[in-house]
Amino acid sequence: MKTEGRNAVLELLKTDKNIDKIMMEKQPQGSLTKIFSEARRQDIRVQFVDRKVLDKESSEKRHQGVIAFTADYNYASLHDILGATDEKCGLVIVCDGIEDVHNLGSVIRVAECAGANGVIIPSNNSASVTEAVIRISAGAAEHVKVAKVKSVGYALEELKKAGYWLYALEADGSDIYKTDLSGKVALVIGGEDCGVRRLTREKCDFTVSLPLKGKVNSLNASVALGIAAYEVLRRKL
């Protein structure tokens, strides 16, 4: 698996993942020198190449002069997330069919920054954690647990058993600022077009929404999640 981009590779170097090698453009400058120094410290092989070689290896030509090569992404299990330590804030993010890699990367970044216990994604009708998702998450995917499950419904039932309250984030719900968000919270967000599916929504305890004052009737999924997640976090501070 390839991790592309300076921030993503720097975050990867902070983990205990086995990095086979790092491919870097010749005459590194700026944060590339920091990556090189850390790779040397960890005894990771660094291969200096022309930029055109990186362009050929990169899927979207957004490598920023560095690509790290590791094993495939290591997903957590659902019970890894449910058993997360008390140091976390008691927040889990459930993605109900987010297919766009940019949105999934942004969701994972929000989850990590908000101190969530983890992110749950379905194995079907969903983006997976790819090199692009890791890069878009600015390396957050290396630090937050991501579980891939066969059934979102089953995951929600297990979250309930673990004491979580389930909140579907939808446009026609109750005002989130007037909703009790105490206890352990699972925020459920839907796909770009259809939102949270009906069967998923029926398993949730509440449906909440953000007040919209403009002419556009919806927010991007990751933007809405960011606002909601930090409202949950604010209540816990």
131, pLDDT greater than 90: no
Coil, strand, or helix at residue 100? Answer: coil
CB 106 within 8 A of CB 222: yes
DSSP 86: T
Could you tell me which residue, 226 or 214, shows the higher pLDDT?
Answer: 226
Average pLDDT over residues 192-202: 89
Percent over 90 (pLDDT), the chain:
69
Q: For tokens 């453009």, what's the residue?
A: 25
Mean pLDDT of the chain: 91
Domains and CATH numbers, the chain: 2-70 (3.30.1330.30), 78-236 (3.40.1280.10)
60, pLDDT greater than 80: no
Q: pTM above the 0.95 mark?
A: no
Report which residue type is found at 182: S
Q: Among 112, 118, 114, which Cα is nearest to 82's?
A: 118
